[in-house]
Structure 1
Amino acid sequence: MIRIVKTEFYKLKRYHILWAGVALMLLSVLLTLFTSMANDGSVWDFAYLTEQVIKNNMSMIFPMCISLIAGYMISREQTDDTLKNILTVPISFKQLLTGKLIVCGVLSIVLGLICSLFTIIAEMVVGFPGFQIALALKATLQITAVSFFLYLAVLPIIIITCRKAGSFLVGVIIAFVYGYGGMFAAGNMTLANLYPITASLGMIGYRSYDTAVNWNIVTCICSLTVVVVISAVLVICMKETEQKQAKKKSKKTAPKKGW
């Protein structure tokens, strides 16, 4: 498994779609800055900026982003017609898929760090009050952690839609709707603790200073654990891809007439 993961990291340099992930992290921060221009009575400071970036990541950007990258990485072996060559080595499709999912988990952390960097840069440019090194470190930890938890939340969608080349785009749409549903789940704390997308916010104590926000960390952990278990079962129960070799039909030669 270690060799599979190492090989997948080597392959990352040829995946230009990773730049799309970086662009989406930048879009999340720019979208947050755009909403700061609205005169809705909100008092913007660095802490509030961080909270809005996390909210936009959860509801609109990150589930779609990581599903796009993970689905592309998995289906690439089929579109490039390299899967049949890989499976000639004693490596099952389940092992290959597990290795790719581990790499995607690391990528979710890297994208979270990139988003944190863009958030700090945006703070330097705009100059919202309340910036402190301690708050910057806290923001980096929260944005990075919630990115990883959001990846865990969408794992079943990635696994289900990765079997056929091109079908991962359907998973991207489902992940977007799934993430946007977190906006509605957040209106009820019981549902917010159970819904995997919003449970990722509970794992980092999002807005826990607000008396109206009551996270049940045990419920949040159970919610994400159930998702991970479902993902593991999906991988285990997945049928191996059998490479069917096309049998060449022997052409029947017409008997010659005469002598």
Structure 2
Amino acid sequence: MFRMVKTEIWKLKRYHMIWAGVFLMLLSVLLTLFSTTALDGTVWTFSFFTEQVIKNNATTIFPMCIALIAGYIIAREGKDDTLKSIMTIPVPYSSLLWGKLLVCALLSLFFGLVSAAFTVIAVFVMGFPGISVTSVLQTFIQIILNCLFLYFAVMPVIVFAARIPNGHMLGTIIAFVYGYGGMFASGNVTLANIYPVTASLGLISYRSYDPAVHWNVLICLFSMIAVLMITAVFVFTAKGNVPVKAAKKHKKTTTKKGW
């Protein structure tokens, strides 16, 4: 498994799709900056800005982002016509899939780090009050862990889409709707703890200082365990989809009669 993960990390060098993930992390921060221009009397501080970035990541940007990139990495073997060569090695397809999923987990941590860095830079540029060493450290921990937990929440969608030939785009659409559903789930305390996307917020104690916010960490943890178990079932029952190229039909040449 270690060699598989190492090999997949080396493959990341030729995947330009990773830059799309970095851009989407920047987009999340830019969307939050755009919301600061609204004249609604909101007092923007470093902590409040961070919370809005986390909310945008969870409900609009990150589920779609990681589903797109993970699906692309998994589907690339079929598009590059290398899957049939890999399947000749006595390694089960489930192990190959686990290796790719572990690499995507590392990518989630990387994207969380990038998002946190963009957030801190934006606060310095805008000059929002409340920045300190403790608040910066908390921002990095919360955003990085939230991206990892969001990846866990989206993993069943990623693996399900991997079972369909060229299904990574379908998985991206499902992940976007799935993440956007967190906005509606957050309106109910019980549903917010059960729904995996919002449960990721509970595991990082998102806005836990607010008396109106009630997180049941145990239920949030069970929600993450449930999606990991569903992912494991999908992985162990998955089979490699080796694309079959249609053979070209040769046109029959008709011989001319006569001289």
For Structure 1 versus Structure 2, the TM-score category normalised by the shorter chain is over 0.9
Q: CA contact under 8 A between 2:78 and 2:242: conserved in structure 1?
A: no
Amino acid at match of 1:201: L
Give the superposition deviation at 1:165. Answer: 4.1
With the length of structure 1 as denominator, give the TM-score of the two structures: 0.92
Partner Cα separation in structure 1 for residue 177 and residue 242 of structure 2:
33
Q: Which residue of 1 aligns with 2:100?
A: 100
Partner Cα separation in structure 2 for residue 55 and residue 211 of structure 1:
18
Partner Cα separation in structure 1 for residue 229 and residue 40 of structure 2:
42
Give the superposition deviation at 1:240. Answer: 4.9
Amino acid at match of 2:8: E
Give the superposition deviation at 1:243. Answer: 8.2
Q: Which residue of 2 aligns with 1:7?
A: 7
Partner Cα separation in structure 2 for residue 245 and residue 208 of structure 1:
54
Q: Which residue of 2 aligns with 1:254?
A: none
1:126–1:239 distance in 2 versus 1, CA, 3 Å: same
Q: Which residue of 2 aligns with 1:42?
A: 42
Q: Which residue of 1 aligns with 2:167?
A: 167
Give the superposition deviation at 1:92. Answer: 1.9
CA RMSD of aligned residues (A): 1.8
Amino acid at match of 1:102: L
Partner Cα separation in structure 2 for residue 33 and residue 84 of structure 1:
47
Give the superposition deviation at 1:246. Answer: 9.2
Q: Which residue of 2 aligns with 1:156?
A: 156
1:69–1:166 distance in 2 versus 1, CA, 3 Å: same
Q: Does 1:53 align with 2:53?
A: yes
Residue 110 of structure 1 aligns to a residue in which SS? helix
Give the superposition deviation at 1:244. Answer: 7.5
Aligned residues: 249
Give the superposition deviation at 1:89. Answer: 1.4
Matches within 5 A, 1:186-197: 186-197=186-197
Q: Which residue of 1 aligns with 2:255?
A: none
1:112–1:242 distance in 2 versus 1, CA, 3 Å: closer
Amino acid at match of 1:180: Y
Partner Cα separation in structure 2 for residue 141 and residue 246 of structure 1:
50
Partner Cα separation in structure 2 for residue 156 and residue 2 of structure 1:
23
Amino acid at match of 1:221: L
The 10-residue stretch of structure 1 (72-81 or 32-41) with the greater mean CA deviation from structure 2: 32-41
1:165–1:243 distance in 2 versus 1, CA, 3 Å: closer
Q: Which residue of 2 aligns with 1:257?
A: none
Matches within 5 A, 1:200-219: 200-219=200-219
Partner Cα separation in structure 1 for residue 213 and residue 39 of structure 2:
24
Structure 2 runs not aligned, ≥5 long: 248-259
Residue 161 of structure 1 aligns to a residue in which SS? helix
Q: CA contact under 8 A between 1:208 and 1:214: conserved in structure 2?
A: yes
Structure 1 runs not aligned, ≥5 long: 248-259
Give the superposition deviation at 1:19. Answer: 0.1
Partner Cα separation in structure 1 for residue 236 and residue 29 of structure 2:
38
Q: Which residue of 2 aligns with 1:123?
A: 123
The 10-residue stretch of structure 1 (233-242 or 217-226) with the greater mean CA deviation from structure 2: 233-242
Partner Cα separation in structure 2 for residue 85 and residue 160 of structure 1:
23
Deviation per CA, 1:127-169: give whole Å up to 9, x if none: 1011101100000000000000000000000000013443110
1:244–1:92 distance in 2 versus 1, CA, 3 Å: farther
Partner Cα separation in structure 2 for residue 165 and residue 108 of structure 1:
24
1:187–1:244 distance in 2 versus 1, CA, 3 Å: closer
Give the superposition deviation at 1:40. Answer: 1.9
Partner Cα separation in structure 2 for residue 170 and residue 114 of structure 1:
26
1:71–1:40 distance in 2 versus 1, CA, 3 Å: same
Q: Does 1:142 align with 2:138?
A: no
Q: CA contact under 8 A between 1:75 and 1:164: conserved in structure 2?
A: no
Q: Does 1:23 align with 2:62?
A: no
Q: CA contact under 8 A between 1:145 and 1:204: conserved in structure 2?
A: yes
Deviation per CA, 1:213-250: give whole Å up to 9, x if none: 00000000001100000100111122355787999xxx
Partner Cα separation in structure 2 for residue 15 and residue 89 of structure 1:
24
